[in-house]
A = this chain, B = another copy of it.
Amino acid sequence: MSDYDIRKTVNDKYSLRGRVFQKIREDILSGKYKEHEELKEVAIGEELGVSRTPVREAFRQLELEGLIQIIPNKGAYVTGITAKDVKDIYMIRSLLEGLCARMATEKMTEEQLEEMEENIYLAEFHAGKGHMDQMAELDNRFHDILYEACDSKMLEHLLRDFHQYVLRVRQKTLSTNTRGRASNNEHRQIMEAIKAKDAKKAEQLANQHMINAYDNIVKNGLFEIYGEENGQERG
């Protein structure tokens, strides 16, 4: 008992609120609702066949997830991720994925390690075939395993959030063919380091893995999906 997860209930798929929450999040991340677009309670309620109440509660959650901004008495607006946000997130993730890999080195179970190996093997196959959807899915899963393995619900929670947050960027990134394979090779190196119980190396590799991912984003100029006016603001 008591192995509950702080935010399992958010994924509660069987309450209206939970479904509304997931649906809106999906629609924001997929780009259906665009940056600065206003979300209206009744409209979304009608679309999903529910009243305003569950929609409002979902809004409050989405706000804390950082996906929308609620201006009191005015409305809910989809928040844009600026280029600077993405950069910051990758800098933060670089450190935290490193920490996660270090911690995972001590805590990882045999089953987790095996799933990782399988994951990398499969990804190699799909990389060859150019199956980008599967690559994205496997990349998700690789990092999930790492998050679970670090045995820290705080860190796991945090990294999962960021992972979600940059979803739009990430999917584009992996679809630049060469990066998919390079990324998987980095996964392999991280896995090897963990297998060899070399925590320091695992940390350093995971660190670099994020830096490489970000560099790739910059190099390929993938920021256009975040609109034009973004980037550095003050300063």
Contact = CB atoms under 8 A, between A and B. Distances in A.
A12 B154 contact: no
A61 to B, nearest CB: 5
Interface stretch (A37-45, A64-72, A172-180): A64-72
A133 interface: no
Interface in A161-187: none
A72 B95 CA distance: 35
Nearest to A94: B99
Contact of A15 (B18, B72, B84, B107): B72
A158 interface: yes
> Can you tell how many copies of this chain the complex includes?
2
Contacts of A6: 63, 66, 69, 79
A21 to B, nearest CB: 9
A92 B99 contact: yes
Contacts of A53: 53
19 contacts: A2-B233, A6-B66, A7-B63, A9-B69, A10-B64, A12-B72, A14-B72, A57-B57, A61-B64, A64-B64, A64-B65, A85-B153, A88-B152, A88-B153, A91-B99, A92-B96, A92-B158, A107-B235, A158-B158
Interface of A: 2-4, 6-7, 9-10, 12, 14-15, 17-18, 53, 56-57, 60-61, 63-66, 69-72, 79, 84-85, 88-89, 91-92, 95-96, 99, 107, 151-155, 157-158, 233-235
